[in-house]
Amino acid sequence: QYTWNYLSTRQKMLKKTVLIICAIGITLATIVIVWYLNPTTTMLSTDREQIPNTTKQIQTEIIATWLQVPRTIIFTEPNRILIAERNGNIRQIINWVLQETPLMSIANISSSSEEWLMGMAIDPNYTANKKIYICYAYMDDNTMFARVSELIDAWNKITDEKIVLDKLPAAPNHAWCALAFGPDNKLYITVGDALEWEKAQYPDYFNGKILRINTDWSNPIDNPYPRSAVRSIGH
């Protein structure tokens, strides 16, 4: 009886071992089949082989040094670049040579921490109207605000500042204001939460928003909030 029980136990263990080995083998075989036959995997592998190594073809050339924290770079022409420096200067590079005299220096700019001159964009119709837009922070009665202005680029100087949006929320931190024109020719303006992050969720405040306006400074009728420049909230 003891011998029979012993043999029966060994048979059960052997059977269980064989089943485990078969299960592992089937799993591995399935993984291998999927790996080699999956079209996505094959396509990605082929694409990787076809992508040329272009790192050796990229060359860099220094065209300007000692810039004061350049925050925005725009091309007005193929051989002319405008640079918005953090300290409020707008500089130009012509034929890859940095011009010494700034085109414009903002006098009343706020300079406590992260704010200063923050954004610059070129009008979609610049060739005809020579308009550019900037956004910078300033102090008014001990309160910091941000302002979006329209300027005329007269090549050797920038003139005729006209305020587009004023009294935007600003603070020494979280005051970032970037400008860009979209494919719809609307001006998009980011406004930081100005350290009042709870207001970012409410469309009645400009804190933590992306604004969208027409080039005549009006609010587009297809903005999500009626009669408001607010395009999106919660940033």
CB environment 179-195: b (16+ within 10 A), e (fewer): bebeeeebbbbbbbbbe
Q: How is 22-87 classified by DSSP, letter by letter?
A: HHHHHHHHHHHHHHHH-HHHHHHHHHHHHS---GGG----------S-EEEEEEEETTEEEEEETT
The sheet carrying 187-191 orders its strands as: 179-181, 187-191, 209-213, 230-232
CA pair distance 221, 223, nearest whole angstrom: 6
Do 211 and 228 meet the contact criterion of CB atoms below 8 Å apart?
no
Residue 52 CA to residue 117 CA, distance in Å, equals 40
Q: How many CB atoms lie within 10 A of CB 232?
A: 16
The confidence score (pLDDT) of residue 226 equals 85
Q: What does the angle CA 159 – CA 87 – CA 133 come to, to the nearest 5 degrees? A: 40
Q: Could you read off the pLDDT tens digit of each residue along the chain, which spans 235 residues?
A: 555 454 466 676 777 777 788 778 787 777 767 666 665 544 444 455 566 666 678 888 999 999 988 889 999 999 999 999 988 899 999 999 999 999 999 888 777 777 788 899 999 999 999 999 999 988 888 888 899 999 999 988 898 889 999 888 887 777 788 999 999 999 999 998 888 888 989 888 888 899 999 999 999 999 999 889 999 998 8
Angle CA 133–138–143, to nearest 5: 140
Spatial distance between the Cα atoms of 67 and 89, rounded to a whole number of angstroms: 10
Q: What is the pLDDT of residue 84?
A: 92
